[in-house]
Amino acid sequence: MDRLVTQKANTNKIRVAFFLDSFFQPAWVDRVVRGITGSSFAELPVIIKYEATGDKTQGYSKPLTCSCNTLMWKTYSRLDNQSLCPYSDPFEEFDLRSAIGTETRLLLVKALLREGRICIDTDSQKIIREEKLDVIVDLGNVPLSRDFYGLSCYGVWIGGTSANSKFLKGPPGFLEVMQNETTELTLQALFRQKTCDRTIYRSWTATDRYSVKGNRSKVYWKLANAVVTVLRNLHESGQRALEMEAVSPVIVESGPRASLPGNIRMLQFLSRIAIRRSKLWFRNYTRKEQWILAYSLGATPIIERDLSELKYLEPPKGKFWADPFPVQRDGNYYVFFEEFLYESMKAHISVTRMDPQGSWSEPVKVLERDYHLSYPFIFEWEGTLYMIPETKGNKAVELYRCSEFPLKWEFEKVLLKDVLAVDSTLFEKDGFWWLFCNIGGKDFASNDELHIFYSDTPLGPWTPHKRNPVKSDVRSSRPAGRLFYRNGDLLRPAQDCSERMGGAMCLNRVTILNREDFQEEPVLRIEPNWTKGLHGVHTLNTVGRLTMMDCFRYIRKSSA
C-alpha cells in the first residue's frame, strides 16, 4: 500500500474517499463530489470522518482564529468578501452530507492528535484498508502521520496554493497578492515512503493584484477541476498519470498552520494595495491602451536579430491593431489583423497589402460580426485559404473560407461549439491536424489552460486530447502565432499573461505531440524591452522574408 502500484489503465472505477474532521466543507469540494459521482471513471464509496483527541495545545484542530492583533485582517476580509468578483466564492460553506448519495457510506474513526499530527489507531487503519481505496483526499485541517499515507494505493492527495500551503503562512492566496507574484497551485500525492511523494498537478495563474478573495477564488475552483482531471487520467493511464515530479522540500511536513496576518503585516499589505490602485487610477485617467503592428523584412529570422530594428505600422486615431497573420501572394504580402475600434469597443478583421520594400496600403475590412473578432489564423488546405478568427464572443470556434482573395470570406462551419476558446491555432503533423487553443470557464480565465484537439482534416470532426488541459501555466500556454520549425525543433509561440494579457512571449519547444501525450519546454523569451514605452508583445508570425509582431503601449487619451 505504501508504494506506487504499477498497472495498466484501470478498467474499474477509481475508488476515492474523503478524509475530514467536519461535514461543513468549502464549496469547491462540492464540485469535486459532483465531478466524481457524475463520472464514469471514479466513485466515492466512503467518507472517513474523525474527531481528534489528545494534545490540543497547539490549536491544530481549530480553524484560524481572530484576535486583537488580527483585527485589520478581519475587517479587510469582511470588506473584500463583499467586493465584486467575477468568480463565485469557493469557500462558501456547505454540508457535505447534502451532496452525497446513498451509495456513499460514512466511516467514523478515532484519531489522536500527537505532536501536531493526526494518528489513527491500528484497528481504524485495518478498517480503512478493507475498503481497498485507490485515493484518499485529505480535507482536514491537520497534517497526518506518515502511516496514514499508506492506506490507499495512490496515496493521500492534498492541494492548495504553494506559497500558502495548507498548513503554512496563513490564508490561501494572501501572500501572492502581497508580494505581487504569480500564484502557483499544486496537487500532491503523499505516500508512506517520503521518496514516493509526487506533485501530480501544477498550475500557474495570474494573481489578482487587488483582492485576496479574487485570487483564491479562481485558484480553488481550478483545484476542484484538477482533482477530477487527475482522477480521469489515473483511470485511463494508471501510474503514468502520477509520474510528474518529486515534491519540493516545502511540503506539509514543515510545521503548524500559521496564524492570520497580524496588524503590522496588514499595514504593509494595505499600503501596497493602495499604491497599486493609485497607479492604476492615474494610468486609466490619463492613458489608454493601444496595440500597434511591427515588422521586419530580412532573410535572418527576427528571433536571431536585434528587435530595435523593427519598423512599425501605426493605427489611426480611434483604433488599435493586433494579431497580425501575413500571407504571401504574387510577390506581395497581405497582412490580416484585428482592427479594434474604441468607439464600439469591438474588433473586426482587416487586411493591408505590403510590397517587398515594406510600403503598405490603407487597411480594408474583410470580416465583421455582431461579436468581437481577433486572432485571424489563416491556413491553406487543398488549394483553398481558410481563416479561424477568435470568436469566443459567440461561444464557438468558427471556420471561414476565402471565396475571393483577399477581401471576401464566407462562413464555412463551426469547428467547436459551446466553448470559450481563444486564439485557435492549427498545425499538421504525423498525418493529423492539431488544434491548439486556450479554454476558460466561468470560474477561471482563458489565459491559463492549453487544450488540444486532433482530426484527420482541418474541417473536423475534432477529438479532444485525452490529457486536456495538456498544460496549465499562465506564463506560456495561450497561443501567440503559428507553430514553426527552427533548426529541426518544432517551436510553439505562447503568451506570458502573468502580468497582463500578452505581457511577453515565450517560445516553447514541442518535444512530444501525439494522441496520448503532449510535452513542451520553454527555450526563449521575447520581452517588450527593445525600445522605450513598450509593455507587451503577444503575436509572432513569419512568411517569406516578412516577420510580423504586435506591440502594446499606453498613449494619451487625447491621442486615442
Q: What is the pLDDT of residue 62?
A: 42
- The string of pLDDT tens digits covering residues 301-345 is 777 778 888 999 999 999 999 999 999 999 999 999 999 999 999
Domain ranges of the chain: 14-261, 280-559
- Select 280-559's CATH number: 1.20.58.340, 3.30.70.20, 2.60.40.420, 2.115.10.20: 2.115.10.20
What's the CA gap between 428 and 513, in Å, rounded?
11
Helix (H) or strand (E) holding 220: helix 212-237
What's the CA gap between 546 and 525, in Å, rounded?
20
Contact (Cβ atoms closer than 8 angstroms) between residue 550 and residue 501: no
Long-range contacts of 383-387 (CB under 8 A, 24+ apart): 385/327, 386/412, 386/458, 387/336, 387/349
Pinpoint the alpha helices (H) of 238-287. 263-286
Name the CA radius of gyration of the chain, rounded.
26
Which residue numbers in the chain have pLDDT < 50?
A: 1-9, 57-65, 249-258
Q: What is the pLDDT of residue 88?
A: 84
Neighbouring residues of 449: CB distance < 8 A, sequence distance ≥ 6: 203, 438, 439, 440, 469, 471, 472, 477
- The string of pLDDT tens digits covering residues 261-299 is 889 999 999 999 999 999 999 999 999 999 999 999 987
AA letter at 150:
G
Top CATH class, 14-261:
alpha beta
Q: What is the pLDDT of residue 350?
A: 98
> Distances from the Cα of 254 to the Cαs of 50, 143, 199, 463, in angstroms?
23, 10, 16, 43
Contact (Cβ atoms closer than 8 angstroms) between residue 288 and residue 557: yes
Q: What is the pLDDT of residue 247?
A: 60
DSSP state of 361: P
DSSP state of 531: S
Q: What is the pLDDT of residue 60?
A: 39
Let me know how long the chain is.
560
Contact (Cβ atoms closer than 8 angstroms) between residue 163 and residue 138: no
